[in-house]
Homo-oligomer: A and B are copies of this chain.
């Protein structure tokens, strides 16, 4: 396209953005209008993409980090012929694929869900990592960012990661329209301010007038020809560009234009230009990949000294990596603690060190998952809280990622509460479509690590620091959604529901109670979500009372999880909840469990009290 045609195309994208928001009665046309020329030139001249084959391995990848500018994205889809004008008018309507913020659940051309700002670039880095280090089909990753979102620290985690990995296949395009939602950004139109920051982080920077299509064209060319480092194009633009009533004005974020017809006229009226996007080069799918036989590590039941579930995780993950070429691992600079180092040692080509940047770690996992890989990302359970917004958005994306939190609970001992995951089960359970697993021994851990690879959505595995007895044999099965009933009898007066470190404690308590003539059974609820409804209901019927014991705060964890079996109006058993109710300090692991009232002695004492007070039958 020549200059005039590109200018015209930009105007068309503006017109269609205005029309979409007008039809919806909501949306962000002014944020779309600022970036319209950037998008027009990218699609017409530089991006290589087959809209009929979004899975083509040679396709470039585009991420709209400023997801609220979805009208521009959908106007672009129309211009390339991927959707028609009638569908554009469904924007933001019930059942429409054209949501307020784009998601890959509904649209095949969307790589990742955006709408929480500062996430597009981090995920784009993950995709670019895949392209550069794993797929190597030569595709480029283009991420269109807003200027406001550069205030998010996650952007700088991404900037650091991209430069460190020399991702010259990645281009960030920043639509510097100087206005955020409630007013001007910190730096306004000072492109140099942003350039200094990106340069300091090791990026190639280009400053450009974002409405000068020829200059933008040259900028993309320069980005493509830059090697050894990622490029950011900092484009000076105007929010609401092209319509006097809204251009560069405050107070108009996220609002349809006051007079759409007048605006469309001012923009030169409707057009129907069609963009012919460059074909991607021929490329083959890397990860139809080998999927060999999985040889999980095995431990003997009762193995001396026990085995830490984090050790079992590391070994099982390494084995899984041997069996499957699509398994990758990431860690946040604690691989010696989480034991991701076992994988890193055996499969260094598929291991991604993310340093202490948990948001970037999860985002990179989402990017790798978008490219068909099966990522396992690990850090301390406590520090996954740092990335909760990314976990939440992974669920909106429908991304299949495995998250592994080690050093969970007060059982870590001396390091104290800052290092104890005590909210992780609540956090992960509340994620839509998630799976939450909390194994108590090495063989169980290994089986669950293998099973996670085949699940959908966000999968979370909680591991422990200290050694645990190996209570199951290596051939035992542990289906997700299942549980293990330990030592049941028909005289059981109570069911102890435990998981992870509280399973051995519950078993010891059951032994002690047995000695006092009180029979109780133990359910190992290793699958916290989904829970084993049938087993819990049977236990409820047979014993009448469930006592949950968990190394987690009392809200949202195991105690709440058992309720999932009883919220359909059926009779609910009596419930007793033992959990961490106070703020721990430093102490040895056994002292911590005792102080929290979740060790064998505390469990037995609580159970005896119920019997003595005739609360249980």
> Could you list which residues of chain A lie within 8 angstroms of chain B, going by C-beta atoms?
24, 26-27, 67, 92-96, 98-101, 103, 105-106, 113-118, 148-149, 151-157, 160, 164, 180-182, 185-186, 196-197, 199-201, 251, 333-337, 341, 355-360, 382-383, 385-386, 388-389, 391-393, 395-396, 398, 413-419, 422-423, 426-427, 429-433, 529, 545, 553-557, 559-561, 563-564, 566-577, 582-583, 585-588, 591, 595, 610, 615-616
Total copies of the chain:
2
Once the chains bind, are A572 and B569 in contact (CB under 8 Å)?
no
Once the chains bind, are B382 and A116 in contact (CB under 8 Å)?
yes
Looking at A152, A393, A431, A610, which has the most chain B CB atoms within 10 Å of its CB? A152
Smallest CB gap from A155: residue in B = B153
Cα distance A334–B251 when bound, in Å?
A: 12
Cα distance A568–B606 when bound, in Å?
A: 10
A415 touches which of B93, B101, B415 (Cβ 8 Å): B101
Once the chains bind, are B392 and A337 in contact (CB under 8 Å)?
no
Lowest 8 CB-CB distances: which A-B pairs, in order? A153-B153, A115-B418, A426-B430, A556-B556, A200-B200, A94-B587, A560-B560, A572-B572
Once the chains bind, are B432 and A429 in contact (CB under 8 Å)?
no
Smallest CB gap from A569: residue in B = B615
Contacts of A341 in B (CB 8 A): 182
Cα distance A432–B113 when bound, in Å?
A: 31
Cα distance A582–B197 when bound, in Å?
A: 41
A-B contact pairs, 5 of them (CB 8 A): A94-B588, A156-B156, A181-B334, A396-B417, A429-B556
Shortest C-beta distance, A617 to chain B (Å), equals 12
Once the chains bind, are A430 and B556 in contact (CB under 8 Å)?
yes
Cα distance A337–B251 when bound, in Å?
A: 11
Looking at A201, A388, A574, which has the most chain B CB atoms within 10 Å of its CB? A388
User: Known contacts A182-B335, A355-B185; is A360 also within 8 Å of B423 by CB?
Assistant: no
Once the chains bind, are B569 and A610 in contact (CB under 8 Å)?
yes
Once the chains bind, are B186 and A164 in contact (CB under 8 Å)?
yes
Once the chains bind, are B583 and A395 in contact (CB under 8 Å)?
yes
Shortest C-beta distance, A492 to chain B (Å), equals 16
Smallest CB gap from A573: residue in B = B572
Contacts of A118 in B (CB 8 A): 356
- Other than the given A152-B153, A566-B575, 6 more pairs (CB < 8 A) read A98-B586, A153-B357, A153-B359, A180-B355, A563-B575, A571-B574
Once the chains bind, are A416 and B94 in contact (CB under 8 Å)?
no
Once the chains bind, are A356 and B572 in contact (CB under 8 Å)?
no
Once the chains bind, are B586 and A96 in contact (CB under 8 Å)?
yes
Once the chains bind, are B94 and A180 in contact (CB under 8 Å)?
no
Cα distance A573–B553 when bound, in Å?
A: 24
Once the chains bind, are A385 and B395 in contact (CB under 8 Å)?
no
Contacts of A395 in B (CB 8 A): 583
Once the chains bind, are B182 and A334 in contact (CB under 8 Å)?
yes
A426 touches which of B149, B429, B588 (Cβ 8 Å): B429
Shortest C-beta distance, A101 to chain B (Å), equals 5
Once the chains bind, are A567 and B556 in contact (CB under 8 Å)?
no
Once the chains bind, are A417 and B103 in contact (CB under 8 Å)?
yes
Contacts of A576 in B (CB 8 A): 567-569
Smallest CB gap from A333: residue in B = B180
Contacts of A359 in B (CB 8 A): 153
Shortest C-beta distance, A410 to chain B (Å), equals 12
Once the chains bind, are A392 and B423 in contact (CB under 8 Å)?
yes
Contacts of A427 in B (CB 8 A): 388, 423, 426-427, 430
Once the chains bind, are B153 and A100 in contact (CB under 8 Å)?
no
Shortest C-beta distance, A128 to chain B (Å), equals 17
Cα distance A239–B383 when bound, in Å?
A: 24
Cα distance A553–B160 when bound, in Å?
A: 34
Shortest C-beta distance, A347 to chain B (Å), equals 17
Cα distance A488–B209 when bound, in Å?
A: 66
Contacts of A337 in B (CB 8 A): 181-182
User: Known contacts A355-B185, A433-B583, A560-B560; is A99 also within 8 Å of B152 by CB?
Assistant: no
Shortest C-beta distance, A270 to chain B (Å), equals 24
Contacts of A415 in B (CB 8 A): 26, 100-101, 115
Once the chains bind, are B563 and A574 in contact (CB under 8 Å)?
no
A100 touches which of B67, B396, B586 (Cβ 8 Å): B586
Once the chains bind, are B383 and A389 in contact (CB under 8 Å)?
yes
Once the chains bind, are B181 and A333 in contact (CB under 8 Å)?
yes
Once the chains bind, are A148 and B563 in contact (CB under 8 Å)?
no
Contacts of A586 in B (CB 8 A): 92-94, 96, 98-100
Cα distance A433–B561 when bound, in Å?
A: 21
Shortest C-beta distance, A403 to chain B (Å), equals 14
Cα distance A444–B553 when bound, in Å?
A: 29
Cα distance A95–B118 when bound, in Å?
A: 42
Shortest C-beta distance, A106 to chain B (Å), equals 7
Looking at A196, A357, A417, which has the most chain B CB atoms within 10 Å of its CB? A417
Contacts of A117 in B (CB 8 A): 356
Smallest CB gap from A559: residue in B = B567
Contacts of A431 in B (CB 8 A): 423, 553
A569 touches which of B422, B556, B575, B595 (Cβ 8 Å): B575
Contacts of A577 in B (CB 8 A): 567
Shortest C-beta distance, A440 to chain B (Å), equals 21
Once the chains bind, are A569 and B545 in contact (CB under 8 Å)?
yes
Once the chains bind, are A574 and B583 in contact (CB under 8 Å)?
no
